[in-house]
Structures are given as structure tokens and as C-alpha cells.
Amino acid sequence: MRSHVARLRCGKTIPLLGMGTYCPQKDRESTISAVHQAIKIGYRHFDTAKIYGSEEALGTALGQAISYGTVPREDIFVTSKLWSSDHHDPVSALTQTLKTMGLEYLDSYLVHWPIKLKPGVNEPIPKEDEFEKDLGIEETWQGMERCLEMGLCRSIGVSNFSSKKIFDLLDFASVSPSVNQVEMHPLWRQRKLRKVCEENNIHVSGYSPLGGPGNCWGSTAVIEHPIIKSIALKHNATPAQVALRWGMSKGASVIVKSFNGTRMSENKRALEIKLDDQDLSLIDNLEEWKIMRGEFLVNQTTSPYKSIQQLWDDEI
């Protein structure tokens, strides 16, 4: 899979196909088992976050694979994310993540959402009184830069940042973000954001590249779409393979979550598919629909975002 990589501004390469480890049940054993299977199949890019509850299981599986000699640490790309209640101290948060995972460093550490919650809030959906009034992204980013200086991670980045929020960050950042991880799939193509990121040498990583089927907030609309199905039929491929290949054809890495070995193997075969101009044109004309809307970060009283439009700066 060495050729199926993108180069980050820091010089590191990121494999275009990544495995997501968000598991609503936080099932440790099935996560460990799935990561071992993924490594055997050829996955080398793994994505987690403090709030997913999968850091420990992923770290355990990676540690085992490294100690067994299955794969060297330098061949693996590991991402985790700063949760919103840890914005006041990214260094401590990342130090704890490394301890939880049993790793010496992460390849990428991302600010999970552009929102600050009160310290100690460890639920994905905050209550009204758990928001901080001040976004404080500048101070948060200084903490992220400190993580990089200390060698706790090889690159820093953001997640769920709009074009405007990227520009705002670039205004004060000493170190620009290497990555912006956002929802991206054939029904939410992120054209404007991809252009902004490309112009500023920021790699786009796409989460929910299949539309998040299987998640409580997700949808099967992408893989059930008649156009995606017809392109799949033409290439003797699955709709999932078409959706993943589309994301990679735009230069993005795609983070796909499946703990099923057969589907993991199928998804990896997306690397072998070649979409033609007609396929890409058909996808570019599909009606767009954002699935992960972030309503849980919007309220009229305590959140800095009073509307969905404010959260995404009208990119919705």
C-alpha cells in the first residue's frame, strides 16, 4: 500500500485508507480483534479519539502487533483527537492518551471540534451548562503546537473546521495544521473546503466516507444511491468501494469503520478501482446532504454557536 499515501506538510506520509475505531458499545475485545485483522489485511492507518473510548483497545492491539514483529511502529499511522473539555491543556490530554494507548507518540493529533467545554465533561453530547463561553482556539492551538515541540506527536491538525475557521486559525498559528478531518462522501463533497485546504497545504481526511451507516446518526443514503450503485455495477465493484475510491481520487484519506473482516478486505480493494471522468461527473452532480450536522453543539443560551449555520459558517 506504499503508493496509496499522501504527503503531509510535515513530511510524513499518511495512508489514504484508514480504519475508524469508533464503537458505540465500546467493546474492547471486538476492537482488539478487528485491529489485528485489519493489520493482517494491510491497513496501516488507524483513527481514534478520547471520546470514542477506543484508545486503549487500539493501543493494546497495535502494541501486540508491534511486539510480535507483525508490523514495525514506523509503518503505522495513528491519529487521536483532543476532546473539547481538554482545550485548556492539550499537553496533559495527549500525555494521557499516549499513556492509555501505550505509545511514545502519535502520528497526528487533531482538535476534535471547534468548541470548548468545561473541564471534566466526558460525554459526546454536552449539557447546556457544560459549554465555555469563550472559544479560545488561539490558546488551544498554542497547546497543540507545544505537543509537537515536545515530540508527543509528529503532526497537528483539526477536525470539523469550516473554511472560515481554517483561515482564522492560519491568522495566528505558528505551525499550520497538517490535516482537517471532516465529513466527506459522494453526497457531501466539501468542494470549497477542499480547495481552501489544498491552497494552504492542509490534507483533507474524510470521516464517514460511506455516510456513517450503522451509526445512530448515520445513513445508508450513500451506499444505497442508485447512481453509486450503477457505477459500482459498471466496475464490478461494491457501492462502498466506489464511495471510498471517490474520496481518494480527490486526494483525501478516508476513514472507514468496519469490524467485519470480509468488509474490511472489500473496502481495501477500493484502492484498485479506477473511476473514469464520466463516473466523477455523475457524482459531482448528485444532490448534497450533510449527515453529521452537530446540532448537539448548538443552543441559544450557553453555546458560542446559536445556529447550525454559525457552527459551519454557512457551509451547510
Q: Are 82 and 94 spatial neighbours (Cβ–Cβ below 8 Å)? A: yes
Question: For residue 244, what are the CA distances in angstroms to 40, 42, 99, 161?
Answer: 20, 16, 32, 21
Q: 88 a known binding residue?
A: no
User: Quick one: cell of 68?
Assistant: 510480535
Question: For residue 25, what are the CA distances in angstroms to 18, 53, 105, 255?
Answer: 21, 9, 27, 19
3-state DSSP percent of the chain in helix, strand and coil, to 5: 40, 15, 45
* Cα gap 309→314, rounded to integer Å: 5
Catalytic residues: 52
Three-class SS state of 311: helix
- Give all strands (DSSP E) within 84-238, no chain letters: 108-111, 156-159, 179-183, 203-207
- Positions at the binding site for substrate: 112
- Positions at the binding site: 112
